[in-house]
Structure 1
Amino acid sequence: MHIIVGGCGRVGADLAERLSDEGHDVVVIDASDEAFRRIGTTFNGEALVGDITDKEVLSRAGVERADALAAVTPSDNANLMAVQIAKELFDVPNTVARLFNPQREPSYRKMGIRYVPETSMIVSAIRNDLEPESFPVHLSRAEDDVSLVEVLIGDHGRGVSVAEVERDGDARVAKLQRGVRMQIPRLDDRFREGDLVVCAVRRSGERRLRHLLLGRD
């Protein structure tokens, strides 16, 4: 995949490194060339100085052929604009914006912007949204039948209840994070787009959980 990461702060640098280590073609953009010092020596992608809301800069980063773009600067406005440009002008199929201000979540949802709230698991959540073949494992050991996984709820999982997830006994919802608020959900709680959910799931239930929450087998 050709992936553009807009912003090379702590989150952007970590995300770019992970994606590069997984073999993706990564271009990371930042307004300051000093920011690229955060990237480790294993990164084999491209670093580009520029404004992520500038169409010419995005073109130099290969946005026309990009499979995904993550806008993770410290500015909600810049992240939103970069995602809109990528989606509406260049038809980038997978985009996600980092969101600091939880009060803006309703506006993002109305505009159909996929976003990840500022959380301790933001890098894993963004990576999952860019490359959604699976959900990232939060904790797993080879000898165990149960893993803890984190799922970023998108359009497909919106409206699914905790009871539906736990129906067959192969999965339990351990935590629901909505914006900055974390809770242990009730069975009748339904997920919203942008929720970050941590589930304990047996190996036998992973396929069903992917299908239920992500729409994939």
Structure 2
Amino acid sequence: MEHAQEALFRPVRAGNAFEETVERLMQAIRLGVVGPGERLPAERELATKLGVSRVTLREAIRSLQENGFVESRRGRYGGTFVRMELPGVVPGLAETGDIRDALTLRKVLETGAAECAAGRSLGPSERRGLRSRLAESCSADLGEYRRKDSRLHLAIAEVTGSASLTAAIAESRMRVNELLDNIPLLEPNLAHSNEQHERIIASILDGDPAAARQAMAEHLDGTASLLRGFLT
């Protein structure tokens, strides 16, 4: 399994370091590269291989620990171990190809919507609406987060002025939400998502289509990393 570990534990991209670290760890666990009862590589070694800070790695490991995938043991032979019994995947989830299809469609639609919104001359009510939805999303608790997140993304679609695009994004969002409902909410990811939301809205309000598209793409890539890690 040494070569498989090398393939999985390779440097992640900087934009979504936490989310991609979770993805790599979950892939190693779900593929059995680090099997039940086995220990993950030492923290310093793993952080170096992934190219992330030890703080980011600890956040990722803590999130997996809180959701029942790994456990920490102290002492001479301590470390982070994969649990003998892992949380199961919810029956009836889409196949890997379906997940990939949903994520591809979402990325094409929503990056285009962000770019289009930033290219329009928005009126005062549209600008207030975006700021209001952003504030709601940033202040949402865990129970409300996905609903408020959806409202923000739909608000971006609405200010494009295209009813057809808004309807397509709403349908796409329904597909993605069905997948998101089957993975845990990770607080470091939510904090990062809120920062990304702020950059997306700022780019739209500043009238910078290229920046809006790039910020949305990076945001969606983070969500995609978590979905791939937990579900495929």
TM-score norm. by structure 2 comes to 0.27
Structure of higher CA gyration radius: 2
Choose between structure 1 and 2 for higher RCO, CA contacts under 8 A separated by at least 6 residues: 2
More strand by share: 1
More helix by share: 2
TM-score norm. by structure 1 comes to 0.29
